[in-house]
Amino acid sequence: MYTVEGDMDDGYVHPLGTGAVWQRSEFNDMNHASNGESLRQRGYNARETISGPREAQYQNWMDDLSQDENKPIKEFICPMKTKREIRKKQERMLAKKTGWDSWKEEKRRSFRKFRGKTSESLKYVEVWRSSLQNIEGHFGTGIQSYFHYLRFLVLMNFVTFLLVGGFIVIPSIVFNELKLDDTSGTTTTTDSAASNISQCLGYNPNPKGLVLYYTFIMDVLMGTGFMELTYMFYGYYKNTSVNLVGFFYNVPLAYLVTTLIYFLLSLVWMVIRSVKGFKQSLVKEDSAMTNYTNKVFGEWDFCMKDPKIIKLKKSSILYELKMDLEEEEMRRIHAQRTMAQRAGIYILRIVLNFIVYSLIGAAFYCIYLATSKSQEWLKEEKVKGDFILELLVGYMPSIVITAANFILPMIFNILIGFEKYTLIWQIRHTLFRCIFLRLVSLGMLLFSLWNNITCGGNIDEANCITCGYNSDIYKCWETRIGQEMYKLMIFDFLTVLVVILLVDFPRKMLIDHCSCKPIQLWGQQEFLVPQGVLDIIYGQTVCWIGTFFCPLLPLLNTVKYTIIFYMKRLTLFSNCRPALRTFRSSSANFFFLLVLLLGLALSWVPVLYSVFVIKPSVGCGPFRGQKTIWQTIPTTVLTFPKAAEEFFGFIGSQAFVIPLFILSCTLMFYLMALSSSYGKLVNTLKDHLQMERSRTILLNQIH
Amino acid sequence: MQPCTMWNLCAAGKTESCELPGSEKVYLLKQDCTFFTRKEILRLHARFYELAPNMVPMDYTNDPEVRLPLQLIINMPELVENPFKERIVQAFSEDGEGNLSFNDFVDMFSVMSEMAPRELKAIYAFKIYDFNTDNFICKSDLEQTLNKLTREELEAEEVTLVCEKVIEEADMDGDGKLAFADFENMISKAPDFLSTFHIRI
């Protein structure tokens, strides 16, 4: 297939080998082409010359192995003129082809065009496309990935809102307006005495007595009062079940099933997105092996037009290369450490890790305490009378969480410097600690709430025995959880706004107008992508946990993230400079989706626990009177025809679930074994390739 | 009836007021040969025309051989700040000197667009970084690349060190310079290459 001339005349040389001189076969070959011959078979070879006449100086790197007839011409590796000639010849050949072949060709081409056109028109439907392109042009792909991520979450929240709104909120509103409620009757508890029911039932969020002037604002900010009696919170929904002619709608069932659906939808959507990133990171080698080449060849963003940004990019590349060279030095010194020094460093690391995790533990304890105390103090009279105090006490958990997430990472950054890790490990450790702090602090808040609601899991305690939950404090505990999530969301939003308005803008103004040394050294605000992404992951986890208890939360989250998008874009263009250390978007994309999946998994725990274990409030909500929220499903299944009931009964029973579980495990192990064997195969092939090349060099040297 | 020129077509959006000789076919051909749509090709032609209104014809039916010199192309806003602008234009020019015809112009932006596949981009990237056009990226090519990337603020020994490291990482056959195979292998492992090696027009 390839004829080789020149020095290398022994044996077969790989077409992409080094320094081979190839023979060029002219375009005449195409004229002799008969039906069905691919370009490859026509011997489309490349000629490379070192220097030569004007025409031959242009090199043709013909990638024979992929020059298929089926490949579109635009992917051929030849100058435009050649491509046009090929196209003309293809047209002529097409005219010569008869019947089936030409029809097939035509269909293939028109399908390709159709696909191109649809993907092009789909691009116009993309929201904020021009913004993202603008950001990419000015600041590069790293920062653009943050906004890309934000847009993905906005879309996901919006879709969740559509689901929730369509299946839960709107039917409830409709049934309420049409007064179709209470067909399934009021609470029917069979396991409590009549007198006890009244204690569980006394749910009245309307304040008694004096209505103060600030009640409205307080209610909006805390989610209490009139807000509790809106479709915002779980407590307002009724257990209506409409059974008109031919139309059957069971609100509790819809509520439960919609929750499961949007959780599954989010999971599937994110898994699909992360698979793309995962594929890339599998193929990619260990970054230590390609560090410098990536910096030299893959770093420069050809999209950038702004000279200021280009200057910054050059400085950042310079900085990174210098850091890398320093790292090399440091690694060399590390390797030369003595045993005593090494032992010293390990001890230091253990001590510092101990400090870090004890700080984190202290933060968790503070959050736990803050949550319990805030629940207690809100009942007290002296707190209720004072606007500021009540607000502070109500928002105490949020304030403590945000403060911990603000202060502790700064301490981590300082401490990690002493641990003498290499740069990449420093980043990884800090990131891991921040993620751990954020997600588990949320878990602590929920744990504290659970403790209060279920009296520490002990149903037989004094407060919990009558209703199955702590009805002293919580007449409607689901709404209370919803309120806490609502408050967290609002506070997070306010924090972002306050930081942008009161920190970024004044800082920029100071730097512009005041030329004293310390301020200039402080410098412009850096747009830090990892922190920003962790923030929005945290917000999204809060939303997922809260949606079951506060169905309108996805809508609020959509609005919140949209506003944050615009505000961050504004602050990016007015105040920020790109970070000195480039954010490698491709590898991080997959990593952040992974963390988001972790957040989703975390959010399942409280929701599923509430659905399966805790007794729903007797006085409010669509599940009042049931033993558990999940009970809706078995009750509904019982109303199905016999065959369906038996089918569902079988699926739910152990006889089905356990074999299914075993089967899934087996499948998973099989896939893992398959993938590891593929990995081994890839490594073997790489070794073979290396060996081939060394062999040809040796042969070369012998001659 | 006046013949259809590019301006008739895209300004009016309709063709009944002009005659369509071969020009439509010209753009149709181009559409299959590039990653651009017809509208984008027409827009590219407008940009090409702007660079030298007195040289670039509006009617491309007869496929005129008009080449714009290097100096005009590298002053385009998309390229003017790029440290590799001369090399980019030279890599896509037929004569290797940087004089682009409209074919080459479209080709250049087509390969540099985000829709071109990795293999195609790798080939042209290799051409761009090969400053002395000897089909190898040798140490001097790397040094020039590095200096362009860092505003020449790295010291000479640091430059040498980085170049040595790059060759060490990428050179598979041990000849001390990178052939296309080494370059392509390295690019396939560089995750950001596809997203950074593109110019938006």
The string of pLDDT tens digits covering residues A89-108 is 877 777 776 777 778 878 88
Residue in this structure with the two tokens 């932006």, named with its chain if needed: B109
| Candidates A51, A79, A294; nearest CB to B94 | A79
Helix or strand (DSSP H, E) at A82: helix A80-96
Min Cα separation B102/chain A (Å): 9
3-class state of residue A303 by DSSP: coil
B95 vs A54, A74, A294: nearest CB: A54
Q: How far apart are CA B191 and CA B74, in angstroms?
A: 28
Q: Do B30 and A296 touch (CB under 8 A)?
A: no
Tens digits of residue pLDDT in A507-558:
888 888 877 777 777 777 777 788 888 899 999 999 999 999 999 999 999 9
**For A679, phi and psi rounded to 5 degrees?**
-60, -40
Query: What span, in angstroms and rounded, lies between the C-alpha atoms of B185 and B179?
Result: 10
Asked if B150's CB is within 8 angstroms of A317's CB, the reply is yes
| A 554-613 → B contacts, CB under 8 A | 584-587
Please give the single-letter amino acid code of residue B116: A
ipTM of this predicted structure: 0.79
Question: Distance between CA atoms of A285 and A676, rounded to whole angstroms?
Answer: 15
Contacts of A90 (CB under 8 A, 6+ apart): A73
Asked whether the beta carbons of residue A16 and residue B180 sit closer than 8 angstroms, the reply is yes
Both structure tokens of A513: 């107008």
Q: Residue written as tokens 């407060």?
A: A463
Least confident piece of the model among A9-18, A95-104, B160-169? A9-18
Digit-coded pLDDT (tens) for B58-68: 777 677 788 88
As a whole number of angstroms, the distance between CA A254 and CA A237 comes to 12
A675: left (phi over 0), alpha (psi -120 to 50) or beta: alpha
Higher-scoring residue by pLDDT: A650, A278: A650
Q: Where is mean pLDDT largest: A122-126, A156-160, A389-393?
A: A156-160
The one-letter amino acid at A374 = S
Q: Specify the 3-state DSSP secondary structure of A550.
A: coil
Instruction: Break chain A into its structural domains and give their ranges.
Output: 11-127, 129-177+248-639
Nearest CA in chain A to B149: A314
Token pair listed for A559: 């609005």
Q: With contacts defined as CB-CB under 8 Å, which chain A residues touch B187?
A: 297-298
Residue type, A202: G
Which pLDDT does position A9 carry in this prediction? 36
Looking at the predicted structure, is the pLDDT value of residue B118 above 80? yes
d(CA A62, CA A71): 14
Measured CA to CA, the distance from residue A168 to residue A162 in angstroms comes to 10
**A625 Rama sector, left if φ>0, alpha if ψ -120 to 50, beta otherwise:** left
Contact present, A443 and A422 (Cβ < 8 Å): no
Among A462, A454, A463, which residue's Cα sits nearest to residue A606?
A454
What pLDDT, in 10s, does the model give residues A579-620? 666 666 666 777 888 889 999 999 999 999 989 888 888 888
Task: Report whether pLDDT(A44) > 50.
Answer: no
Tokens of A379: 């009942």
When CB atoms are compared, the residue of B32, B81, B125 closest to A73 is B32
The reply to whether A332 touches chain B by the CB within 8 Å rule is: no
Answer whether residue A43 shows pLDDT above 70: no
A672 alpha carbon, distance to own chain's centre = 24
Q: With contacts defined as CB-CB under 8 Å, which chain B residues touch A19?
A: 135-136, 179
CA distances to A305, A326, A340, A517, B190 from A319, in Å: 21, 10, 33, 22, 20
Beta carbon pairs, A and B, within 8 Å: 194
Its pTM surpasses 0.80:
no
Q: Which two tokens stand for residue A313?
A: 């990019």
Task: Point out the residue among B145, B174, B180 whose CB comes nearest to the CB of A61.
Answer: B180
Q: How far is CA B197 from CA A120, B113, B116, B193, in A?
A: 21, 8, 10, 6
User: pLDDT tier at A29 (50, 70, 90 boundaries)?
Assistant: very low
- Chain B CB contacts of A290 under 8 Å are 169, 186, 189-190
N residues, chain A: 703
- Do A59 and B150 make contact, defined as CB atoms within 8 angstroms? no
